Amino acid sequence: MKSEKVRRVEMFARYEASQHRNTEVNVKHLLLGLIREDMGFVSQQLSKTEIACLKRYLYNYLDELPDQNIIPLSSDAATIMRQADDSSRISSTEDIWKALMENKEISDILQSDYSEIKEDETEI
C-alpha cells in the first residue's frame, strides 16, 4: 500500500502534467511531484541552485499539448508508481527518488541535459 507521501507525489505529478496540458504523467512529472512534496529530502540530494535549474529545465521541456480530463501515467512512470504498491519496494519519497535515479531518462537529465541552464544560472 502506498504511503501518504507517495500518494501525494503522484497527485502533484498529475497536477504538474495538467498544468502543462500534457496527455500523460511521465517521469519528469514524477520528479517535479517529488520536489514539490519533499523538498527537504531533495535538497539533501541536490543543491538549491541545481534544484532551481532542474525545475526550470523540466518546465521548459514539458510540451503544451491538448487538455485531457484524465491524465494517465506513462509506462515508465506507471512502473515506478506500481512499485509503490509493494511497500517493501517504495514506501517513501526517498524510495521514489531511488526509483527515478534508476530511470535512464532522469539520470541522463541530472547528469547533463540541463547543464546549459546551470551555466546560465551562475551568470545571474
Q: What is the pLDDT of residues 47-97, one digit of tens each?
A: 999 999 999 888 887 765 555 566 778 888 888 887 766 656 666 888 888
> Residue 96 is placed in which grid cell?
521514489
Q: When comparing pLDDT for 33 and 109, which is higher? A: 33
pLDDT of residue 94: 83
- Give the chain's domains with CATH numbers: 4-123 (1.10.1780.10)
Q: When comparing pLDDT for 114 and 79, which is higher? A: 79
Banded pLDDT at 124 (limits 50, 70, 90)? very low
Residues contacting 5, CB < 8 A, separation 6+: 37, 38, 92, 93
